[in-house]
Chains A and B, each alone.
Chain A
Amino acid sequence: MTAIDNLSGVTTGTVLEAAAVTEESEFRPMRTAEESVGMMASAEGLTSDFSTVRRCGSWRS
């Protein structure tokens, strides 16, 4: 599956879209969904304690 296949709604990529997709990997997390789900059954240590986001409380406009 190509990067473009992963983006729902993209059927005929324009030049701009095609150029942008080549940069997609920069915006990926450390693991794929399959790897993350696979790790849920393991007993590995905490990957986050939510501390950064928790310190910000909530967003209120």
Chain B
Amino acid sequence: MNVPPWLTGSVPFPAIEDWRADAALCVRQNLRAREMVTDACRSVVARLDSLPPDEMVATLLRPEVFAFVTGPGGEDGWAELQDGLAARTTRDAGSSLLWLNPTGQFTVVLRRQGRGSRRESCAAANFIDPSTAQFASCATAVESALGLIERIAPGFRAEIEKLVECVVLVDEGASFRGASGLAFRGMIMLSPEPDWTTCTFAEELVHEMTHLLLDLISIREPLLKGEQAFDEAWAAPFRPDKRPLYGNFHALMVVARLIHLFGAFERCGAEPETSWSAKAHDYAQRSAEALAALKAHGDLSAMARRLFNTLVEPTLGATLAAASTTTSSA
């Protein structure tokens, strides 16, 4: 399978600093276009303009900023943004990506999350208290997962460093296993289950990080064109409800990258009791219907077409073919 190394976790996605700066430019221009009439507005903008370029880009890509630019804005929003930027200057757990105490606005964002693979809503969800044994156990597992990714897929680890601002832990009230989104861009929400292993955490991190990469690209270049891209009419790999082609493009990119991650798990002997090739086959087979629909009906942009042709189709095609060969020879 001739897939470029940056799409398999060997090295990071190309020009990722350029993508970050370009997305930050979009955010900066969005802020500039908003009405600035209060001291809070002027203070935030003046502070951003005073930052060195790297720090300015990093600040503009923070989830607090995206919560503002994707929200209603207004005077209260500017004040909340000002408070958010002042409250957290960097990751607040040392070298870890874990954010110990998400501010109140993200509890609102969390509870707005709708249906996931577990339940219909997040109305009863809470961030896990960092003083609990549950949090400590999950924190250890996240660190182990980051270490594993670093060893076996250093390109994915480098992407996490550039794409993921923070990871937050959510209790069993979450509708999802993992979540990400433009309204909290840069943040990954994980709701771990007791049986999650180091490899499960690694899978979930790479899964959500791939959404973050595609969202970053999508800020400038839409991946799919046309209204039909948003029709919730198509079978999806993981969710029982019908999904739009746009969502399935994301899902197939996730599956393709996870198949390469599973290959790395197998090669390094991680969790030898797990058949990673069988899991890859399972994911590819779940994706077959969505792959066919996207191929037949998706109006892909130039970038999406490159990603589809270079990563998605070769990876899923080879995995499905391998499964077919195994079945026919059994």
Contact = CB atoms under 8 A, between A and B. Distances in A.
State which size class the interface on A falls in: 35 or more
Contacts of A30: 22, 220-221
A57 B19 contact: no
B33 to A, nearest CB: 6
A1 interface: no
Contacts of B204: 61
Contact of B250 (A6, A23, A41, A59): A59
Interface in B195-239: 204, 207-208, 211, 215, 217-223, 230, 238-239
Contacts of A8: 11-12, 158
Contact of A60 (B56, B117, B217): B117
B242 to A, nearest CB: 14
Contacts, number: 160
Given A29-B15, A48-B220, A58 B180 contact: yes
A55 B245 CA distance: 13
Band of interface residues on B: 35 or more
Interface stretch (B24-32, B82-90, B132-140, B291-299): B24-32
Interface string A37-61: 1011101111111101111111111
Interface in B1-44: 2, 4-6, 10-15, 17-22, 24-26, 28-30, 32-33
A57 B114 contact: yes
A20 B250 contact: no
B11 A28 contact: no
Nearest to B208: A59
B4 A47 contact: no
Nearest to A13: B5
B117 A59 contact: no
Scoring A9, A24, A59 by chain B CB atoms within 10 A of each residue's CB, the highest score goes to: A59
Contacts of A56: 182, 230, 244, 246-247, 250
A7 B220 contact: no
